[in-house]
Structure 1
Amino acid sequence: MRVITGSAGGRRLLELEGLETRPTTDRVKEGVFSALQFDVEGRRVLDLFAGTGQMGIECLSRGAASAVFVDRRKDAFALIKKNLALTGLQDRARVVHGDSLAFLAGAGESFDLVFLDPPYASGLLEQALERLAAPGFDILAPYGIIVAEHPADRRLDVPAGCRLRKTYRYGKIAVTLFRREGNE
């Protein structure tokens, strides 16, 4: 697992041991960032269920203004900090140890780009999509993008106030992008 491009391009990231965390493969990550290439620079990023932090770190490497990483596992929290230090990107990052859904409930800030990659069978993806689109929370900025990784055989409902941008398939994995509508 490595950072693809940008200021930390080519750097290898540390990975979590065990099977509880399923890192996004380089092939999927390359596809996602090909689709997002003009939507990263200067943006505020939220990497929920962050695991190793690789998606948010890739954004920071590509010029994102800031990134918040959230994971409930202590070992993931520590590893994200190490990976940020390895890449020299910790100055624009904040790492939160805690429940991702609880973070959404009390975020108090908005993000332009949100990555969601919870454990597939947990039901957390649908709950996170619901909370991101909930009226009055404004976690997702107008025209903000949600990037949701999920099994290719699962179809996601479009969150309220968003539209489906596209679903990309990579074998058994799919990545769906949603864009929030503006405040017209």
Structure 2
Amino acid sequence: MRIIAGDFRGLNLASVGKGDAGAHLRPTTDRVRESLFSMLAGGRFGDPVSDAVVLDLFAGTGALGLEALSRGAQYATFVDDGRVAQSLIRENVKKCRAEARVKIISRNATRLPANTDAPASLVFLDPPYGKGLGEKALTSALEGGWVAPGALIVWEDSAAITPPIGVTLLDQRRYGDTVISLCETGEADD
């Protein structure tokens, strides 16, 4: 696993091998990450990465949030309650020398506390596949003030998703057993 483009381009991230099923670690492959960020940069969604405040739920290795930082996001919050994941995120943040632009929260992503920082304009949501945890985590993030109005949500799963009320599905793409759904939160005056 490596950073595909930007300031950290080519940097190899900490390896989890083929993943860690016990810790529910299933890193997004370089190919899927590259396709995803190409889609985001394609213009249809404006430029959701530059200067973004990123929320990476079920962060795993932190690869999605770090790729966004590499491509110009200003800040990223990583949420994962797994010890292995937290260790990998810390190692990868250190490799990128991005400590000043990162916050790591050791918490179940489905039970977030109230947010006291700027809400995210770009959300990565990569829950364990097929368990319905993405819906719960996104609802928790919305209720806790973690997600800004008009934010773009990149939701990775293997099954059909059901966006919470106030979230609109914009596009879906399949990459093998991975389905990337792009969603958007309603504007403040909706």
**Aligned counterparts of 2:54 and 2:123: Cα–Cα separation in 1:** 6
Consecutive unaligned residues in structure 2, runs of 5 or more: 42-46
1:142 partnered with 2:146: no
TM-score (norm 2): 0.87
Measure how far apart 1:176 and its partner are: 0.3
Q: Which residue of 2 aligns with 1:114?
A: 123
**Aligned counterparts of 2:91 and 2:68: Cα–Cα separation in 1:** 17
**Aligned counterparts of 1:29 and 1:175: Cα–Cα separation in 2:** 10
**Aligned counterparts of 1:130 and 1:91: Cα–Cα separation in 2:** 28
**Aligned counterparts of 2:186 and 2:162: Cα–Cα separation in 1:** 16
Query: Contact (CA 8 Å) 1:16, 1:76: kept in 2 or not?
Result: no
2:85 maps to a residue whose letter is A
Measured against aligned partners, the alpha-carbon deviations of 1:65-91 in whole angstroms (never above 9, x if no partner) come to 100011111121121111111111221
1:5 partnered with 2:9: no
Which one of 163, 177, 184 corresponds to residue 182 of structure 2? 177
**Aligned counterparts of 1:82 and 1:177: Cα–Cα separation in 2:** 28
Query: Contact (CA 8 Å) 2:8, 2:70: kept in 1 or not?
Result: yes
Measured against aligned partners, the alpha-carbon deviations of 1:6-36 in whole angstroms (never above 9, x if no partner) come to 1000111002353331000112111211122
- Cα 1:155–1:122, aligned 2, differ >3 Å: closer, same or farther? closer
Q: Which residue of 2 aligns with 1:50?
A: 59
1:70 maps to a residue whose letter is V
Query: Contact (CA 8 Å) 2:130, 2:157: kept in 1 or not?
Result: no
Measure how far apart 1:133 and its partner are: 4.1
The 5 A counterparts of 1:1-184 are 1-16=1-16, 18-19=20-21, 20-37=24-41, 38-103=47-112, 105-109=113-117, 110-134=119-143, 137-151=144-158, 154-184=159-189
1:26 maps to a residue whose letter is D
1:8 maps to a residue whose letter is F
2:176 maps to a residue whose letter is G
1:89 maps to a residue whose letter is A
Identity of aligned residues (%): 38
TM-score (norm 1): 0.90
**Aligned counterparts of 1:121 and 1:74: Cα–Cα separation in 2:** 22
**Aligned counterparts of 1:159 and 1:7: Cα–Cα separation in 2:** 34
Consecutive unaligned residues in structure 1, runs of 5 or more: none
Measure how far apart 1:128 and its partner are: 1.5
1:172 maps to a residue whose letter is D
